[in-house]
Structure 1
Amino acid sequence: MKRRSVISLPAVALAAPHLADARAAAGFEGPSVIDGNLPVFFERLKPELTFPLAWPNAREREFRDWKRRARARFEEHLVEPADHTPFRPEIVDEQPGPGYRRRQLIFNVTRHSRVRATMLVPDGPGPFPAALLLHDHGARFDIGKEKLIEPWYDEARLTSARAWSARYFSGRFPGDHLAARGYAVLAVDALGWGDRGGLTYEGQQALASNLFNLGSSPAGLMAREDARAAALLTTLPEIDRRRIAAVGFSMGGYRAWQVAALSGHIAATVSACWMTGLKEMMVPGNNTLRGQSAFYMLHPGLYRHLDIPDVASLAAPRPMYLTGGELDPLFTAEGVAVAYRKIARVYASQRAASRLRTRTWPGLGHIFTAEMQDDAFAWLDQNLKT
């Protein structure tokens, strides 16, 4: 007959407090180690992110040498390799517009994808300054490029696009507005949006994991495709290849400074409503902590080397305009301030402080109003038209 160990309930009750004290003394986390999608030790992880490759910490004395090494590290973490497939652009539709031509063209954005893009070209001989327009995320996938250029070619998308324009852009289509100002503009769908749709909000995580397994990533692929779109513009006869801007709102704002950091084809950048320090972004309640959409703006391991504003600083000393609303719920005021200071320090080190403009709009949230656009595009005129 087996012996049974018997512990009385009072004895267990007496032991439990001592066990809890011992666990606490040993650093034991307790039964719950996840709090609001963050590990309970997340604040202990932040000091480990020292961003050793940031320009102020760099071992290089020459800025161009630092940029070469930092960009190489950045590209390494894109996972997706660079692509040099011939574009083979083909115009499939062209219609007259009010002072510009509306055009649809298809081209090879990568070796795997031939996509349809929308373009507006001002009337006249050119060559024109150009803007690569980069659409937002918005958890809405039926429209992508249509968020920025009015879709004359699709009635259903036109309805969705006008609603989006009314919600975020004061009823404007920024691309049409830029075309009226004399810019040729190009917009392409990122994987999952518009013509390249079929994605759902809940499906983003599965798509990301599958791309990782296949040796790619959603953020890396998007970065490479944006750089390819910028390169395409340099091949078109209507475009002045020395005067190409990247313009975007929200995720498109992230894409704008990212492609400027990655591609030497971008001469100036307008980024609305996407800039922050990484540590200040990783706080309870932030939208990034929900995952899903974060995969389009996530390069695993990169922040062991560079902070978010350090990556944007790879575009220095080329002109950059960063703006956002004071009440934007997606980014803390501290995070925006930290990022602006870091980027300003880099520009100042290159005697290019006047080429960086940052502006926070009082009382506004996550939005790119007509007034904000006018200010940004007037700045763009000063830097690309003179």
Structure 2
Amino acid sequence: MTEPPAGLEDELTFPLAWGTSTVRDFPAWRRAARAVVEERLLVDRQEGTPYAPEYGPGLRGDDGVTREVVTLSLTRHERVRGVLLSPHGPGPFPAVLLLHDHGSRFDIGKEKLVRPWYDETRLESASAWARRCYGGRFVGDELARRGCVVLCLDAPGWGDRGPLAYAEQQALACHYFHLGSSLAGLMAREDVRAAGFLAGLDRVDARRVAALGFSMGGFRAWQTAALSDDVAAAASVCWMTGLKEMLVPGGNALRGQSAYYMLHPGLARHLDIPDVASIAAPRPMLFLHGALDPLFTAEGVRVAHDRLRAVWRSCGAEERLRLTTWPDTGHVFTERMQDEVFAWLESVL
């Protein structure tokens, strides 16, 4: 037996969804829905943990960007190494929390999005990944050249925090569950803390902080916007669907392994995936989808987009939500797609 009884899926009615919930005041609904999500993370907020940042030597580039390695405490258990890019000048600047993808490629994390000037041994892998998924462009470097402070950190298991082997994902998630914790919850909490750190920097305009990611990074972007008031806008590329439409035979969500980074136990008893993203309303949000993306069914994307559109419309903020499907792309974040996102970020920040 590899599948649970069909009746379990039929019982998913998402009773806490906006419009279904008995809570009719939207700010009150946001608080209630966020509280339910946070409870399912199984990881506390880490609010009393100092970031205690340590900076490595900076590199002042000829392209108008200063690059730094930064190490900080996102939780009380571990120090995390990341990269911080800043435009030359006094600021304060808009900022982007850049969230890397999964891709079953663990030797690089932050290096998928920021050229690793500090480690030539990773440059070949990073450049190959940029060509595969990002049109050959390092998204973080491009954002910084366009005037944004950029923070990018390794998620648990990637880069300096790994590398994991593919089959070790499930073992790691299982270990966390045995300890009464959660791998997905840890990643969510760390991303929220990273947003808070970025917003608190003197060089950053705290009113103009966005989250951006592709694939699993796209999931992380809208999730961070839902859970953090430090994020003013978010852009998610190639990660949005309805839950039931995602649970198809052979789909990644049912294989274990990678799915555990995005699996919060019991949450589906209350909220569908777009319902969680809707906690970010009425802030500006952009969702890009490739019509040829094999990981998300067209029906799942349609269901999610319809749900998101209804929520922003009910808030009188439909113009703040952009839902775009690129007809000729799959699971990638091409230069043309990036240019759309960059222009959108400039308009909302």
Same fold per superposition (TM over 0.5)? yes
**Aligned mate of 2:11, from 48, 60, 65:** 48
Deviations 1:293-339 (A, max 9, x none): 00000001000100000000000000000001101000000000000
**Aligned mate of 2:31, from 44, 62, 68:** 68
**Aligned mate of 2:135, from 161, 165, 170:** 170
Counterpart CA distance in 2 for 1:266 and 1:219 is 20
Counterpart CA distance in 2 for 1:90 and 1:242 is 25
CA contact 2:82–2:153 (8 Å) conserved in 1: yes
Tell me the SS of whatever aligns to 2:202: coil
1:114 aligns with 2:65: no
By how many angstroms is 1:377 displaced?
1.1
CA contact 1:93–1:105 (8 Å) conserved in 2: no
**Aligned mate of 1:91, from 55, 62, 74:** 55
Query: Match of 1:331?
Result: 296
**Aligned mate of 1:250, from 177, 191, 215:** 215
The letter of the residue matching 1:293 is S
Tell me the SS of whatever aligns to 2:57: strand
By how many angstroms is 1:45 displaced?
2.3
The letter of the residue matching 2:322 is R
By how many angstroms is 1:93 displaced?
2.0
1:262 aligns with 2:261: no
Counterpart CA distance in 1 for 2:163 and 2:82 is 18
Counterpart CA distance in 2 for 1:158 and 1:107 is 23
- The normalised TM-score by structure 1 is 0.89
By how many angstroms is 1:91 displaced?
1.2
By how many angstroms is 1:198 displaced?
3.4
By how many angstroms is 1:46 displaced?
1.9
Deviations 1:92-147 (A, max 9, x none): 12001211101111111110111111011001110000000000111011000010
CA contact 1:227–1:262 (8 Å) conserved in 2: yes
Q: Which runs of 4+ in 1 moved over 4 A?
A: none
By how many angstroms is 1:253 displaced?
0.2
Q: How large is the RMSD of aligned CA atoms in angstroms?
A: 0.8
By how many angstroms is 1:215 displaced?
1.9
By how many angstroms is 1:363 displaced?
1.9
Counterpart CA distance in 2 for 1:157 and 1:329 is 29
CA contact 1:280–1:335 (8 Å) conserved in 2: yes
**Aligned mate of 2:287, from 298, 318, 322:** 322
Tell me the SS of whatever aligns to 2:167: helix
1:79 aligns with 2:46: no
Query: Match of 1:13?
Result: none
Deviations 1:165-197 (A, max 9, x none): 000110001111111110000000011000101
The letter of the residue matching 1:71 is R
By how many angstroms is 1:234 displaced?
1.9
Deviations 1:49-75 (A, max 9, x none): 000000011112210000111110010
Tell me the SS of whatever aligns to 1:57: coil
**Aligned mate of 2:94, from 105, 129, 148:** 129
CA contact 1:208–1:217 (8 Å) conserved in 2: yes
Query: Match of 1:381?
Result: 346
Counterpart CA distance in 2 for 1:247 and 1:77 is 23
CA contact 1:141–1:193 (8 Å) conserved in 2: yes
Question: For the pair shown, which has the larger CA radius of gyration, 1 or 2?
Answer: 1
Query: Match of 2:66?
Result: 101
Deviations 1:18-41 (A, max 9, x none): xxxxxxxxxxxxxxx32xxx34x3
Tell me the SS of whatever aligns to 1:227: helix
Unaligned runs of 5+ in 2: none
Map 1:298-309 → 2, pairs under 5 A: 298-309=263-274
Tell me the SS of whatever aligns to 1:68: helix
**Aligned mate of 2:20, from 44, 57, 62:** 57
Task: Name whichever of 155-164 and 89-98 sits farther off.
Answer: 89-98
Tell me the SS of whatever aligns to 2:58: strand
- Count how many residue pairs are aligned between Structure 1 and Structure 2: 347
Counterpart CA distance in 2 for 1:235 and 1:350 is 29
Counterpart CA distance in 2 for 1:287 and 1:117 is 28
**Aligned mate of 1:354, from 296, 319, 326:** 319
The letter of the residue matching 2:252 is N
Query: Match of 1:30?
Result: none
- The normalised TM-score by structure 2 is 0.98
Counterpart CA distance in 2 for 1:105 and 1:93 is 9
1:179 aligns with 2:179: no
Counterpart CA distance in 2 for 1:247 and 1:208 is 25
